[in-house]
Structure 1
Amino acid sequence: MTTNKDAFSDYLQLEKKYSPHTVNAYLNDVISFESFNAIHFDQENVEQVNYGQIRNWIVSLVDSGISNSSVNRKIASLKAFYKFLLKIKQIEINPLLKHKALKVPKTLQIPFSEKEVEEALSQMQNPQGFEAIRNKLIVDLFYTTGVRRTELIHLKKINVDLAKNTIKVLGKRNKERILPLLPIVANQFLLYGQERLNLAVIVDADYFFLTKKGLKLNDSFVYRLINSYFSTVSEKVKKSPHILRHTFATHLLNNGADLNSVKELLGHSSLASTQIYTHNSLSELKKVYQEAHPRGQK
């Protein structure tokens, strides 16, 4: 018999087009609340709970020491579950309808400066061998396209079109977008492609970026790669693929790109997501304004 959780899982995958990883995260959060409810309220049926019971779970999560942002993510999963139950008429009232998310301190994502990027890339001039050529291409691709880490990892060989100097990536909620390649980066694709052909073994042949053993890259590998190259040129706390994506957007805006174009390149569904990158471009704009205006130096 199909349970509400099974139906919820199908809904997330088939209608919402969420990735398997996201679906599992949602279901694990619902199951976590189920377990809490069974232990503390002797009630396994979470379809018939009140907000007081959920509030107790929230308090226990906070007391366990996890961050407010992590608690909010778990509650978002539960809220999505109850919205689904409303949709299929299994409940009449969403117990989380009036819940307000816990406050999360805003953390400013500080991008790399243009000088830091240039210094990182200068370490990689004239790369020799498969790994060095691949690593330089990965850094350049993050910086020149703003691609997400998971999009880079899952880039398929078939979706690299060097005749048109474009790549097609699969973003959040399975949304595809086509990204243009700068000629200098397209040339690196050709160079890497030639080295890739010389691998002794290729296991994950469909994927474009591989390890020297012919396997698809993973999240931690790509994180370590970016962190290692930028650790020598930057003292910023965070040196990750996401910061490089953030850097891509900030540098475009600083150099006159319009917000809508950056939104499309990043694959954001709304301008609100892109506007977080305007903090740094605003400081650059103030600097230019102060230097250029006749009264700016007075």
Structure 2
Amino acid sequence: MAEQVIKERELENFLTYLTIDRGLSLNTKENYARDLGGYLTYLEQQSIEHFNQVKREHIQTYLIELYGRGLNTKSVARHLSAIRTFHQYLMIERLCSQNPCDLIESPKLSRDLPEVLSVAEVERLLESFTEETAADLRNHAMVELLYASGLRVSELLALNIVDIHLSMQFIKCRGKGDKERIVPIGEVASDVLTRYLEKARPQLLKKSTDVLFLNRFGDPMSRQGFFKILKKQAQMAGITKNLSPHKLRHSFATHLIENGVDLRLVQEMLGHSDISTTQIYTHMSKEHLKELFEHTHPRAQALKERDSTS
């Protein structure tokens, strides 16, 4: 019992270390406390009296137990990360001479492919705008530009008039890390933006500002405001997928790669610092090709017919 009290005290010290030395959030700290509480209980059940007695086999058995409780791979990986960090801390404090997690590989996480709109769905969305009012024209311009450029919603709403170069059909934007990039937008988006600047923005303008997209009060359009506009327009266009600004960005990248655009160019347009982030869209493209094959190739159709009659 005394050993358990010592372990719990070290856990409290570790959580303090996370807050002060590592600067982790309260939510992360609570996750560590919950995951490591179960781990310390397991060590007690194994009659382990000192952290130096913990071996790789103990942790592997604990991870198997977690799987047995129904935890998924992502949750087990999170538990292992907490245990690994805890033992690193114990080594720093000279309470443990080695980290028993060093030879344990983290479970391989499958990366979920983001859902995207089909080209037909995007066309239906963009053709659903009427442009009858200044707000309608502004909404069309925002959504048309978002899909034409692949911008993040924060980048879209931060655009100023000086960032738009319609004669050259490109825009300048600032992304993560305040990095500036040039993004082509094409003729259709340029035309809609021209109409917005000439007809709609002067009606929405209530005070002097360089911000491109304004709400009905003449203030910069908010993320929440744009999200509501997009959801409403998707409903009007009969799109049943849960549409978000980021889903349009995913759709932009996926459609480019499906049409043969080089991955490096897509990386540059999206503003990704690491190409591995962009590579997810090649996987999505392969999934799309596989789906097309299964729906259209005669041999795939013949196999389906054979399976249905067997």
User: Which TM-score band (shorter chain)?
Assistant: 0.5 to 0.7
- How far apart in 1 are the matches of 2:291 and 2:116? 17
- How far apart in 2 are the matches of 1:267 and 1:159? 16
Residue identity opposite 1:159 in structure 2: D
Determine the structure 2 residue equivalent to 1:13.
none
- How far apart in 1 are the matches of 2:253 and 2:15? 49
What secondary structure, in the 3-state scheme, does the structure 2 residue paired with 1:198 have? helix
- How far apart in 2 are the matches of 1:40 and 1:291? 57
Q: 1:198 to 1:44 in 2, by over 3 A?
A: same
- 1:60 aligned to 2:33? yes
- How far apart in 1 are the matches of 2:222 and 2:13? 41
Write the deviation string for residues 189-217 of structure 1: whole angstroms up to 9, x where unpaired.
111112212335136x1211111211011
Q: 1:175 to 1:255 in 2, by over 3 A?
A: same
Larger Rg: 2
- How far apart in 2 are the matches of 1:243 and 1:178? 21
Determine the structure 2 residue equivalent to 1:165.
169
Residue identity opposite 1:115 in structure 2: A
Q: 1:173 to 1:117 in 2, by over 3 A?
A: same
Aligned pair count reads 231
What secondary structure, in the 3-state scheme, does the structure 1 residue paired with 2:213 have? coil
- Correspondence 1:11-30 to 2 at 5 A: none
Determine the structure 2 residue equivalent to 1:82.
none
Write the deviation string for residues 136-189 of structure 1: whole angstroms up to 9, x where unpaired.
111111111111100001011111112222110000111111111211211111
Deviates more, 1:225-234 or 1:140-149: 225-234
Determine the structure 1 residue equivalent to 2:231.
227
Determine the structure 2 residue equivalent to 1:240.
244
Alignment match of 1:122 (pick from 104, 119, 127): 127
Q: 1:48 to 1:220 in 2, by over 3 A?
A: closer
Q: 1:287 to 1:100 in 2, by over 3 A?
A: closer
Question: Counting helix residues as a fraction of each chain, which structure ranks higher?
Answer: 2
Q: How does the TM-score come out when normalised to structure 2? A: 0.62
Determine the structure 2 residue equivalent to 1:174.
178
Residue segments in structure 1 that go unaligned for 5+ positions in a row: 1-36, 50-54, 80-94
Q: How does the TM-score come out when normalised to structure 1? A: 0.64
Q: 1:59 to 1:292 in 2, by over 3 A?
A: closer
Determine the structure 2 residue equivalent to 1:251.
255
What CA RMSD, in Å, does the superposition of the two structures yield over aligned residues? 4.0
Determine the structure 2 residue equivalent to 1:33.
none
Aligned-pair CA distance for 1:102: 9.3
Determine the structure 2 residue equivalent to 1:273.
277
- 1:143 aligned to 2:116? no
What secondary structure, in the 3-state scheme, does the structure 2 residue paired with 1:226 have? helix
- How far apart in 1 are the matches of 2:234 and 2:177? 30
Residue segments in structure 2 that go unaligned for 5+ positions in a row: 1-8, 23-27, 37-73, 86-98, 303-310
Deviates more, 1:127-136 or 1:97-106: 97-106
Does structure 2 retain, via aligned residues, the 8 Å contact 1:202–1:213? no
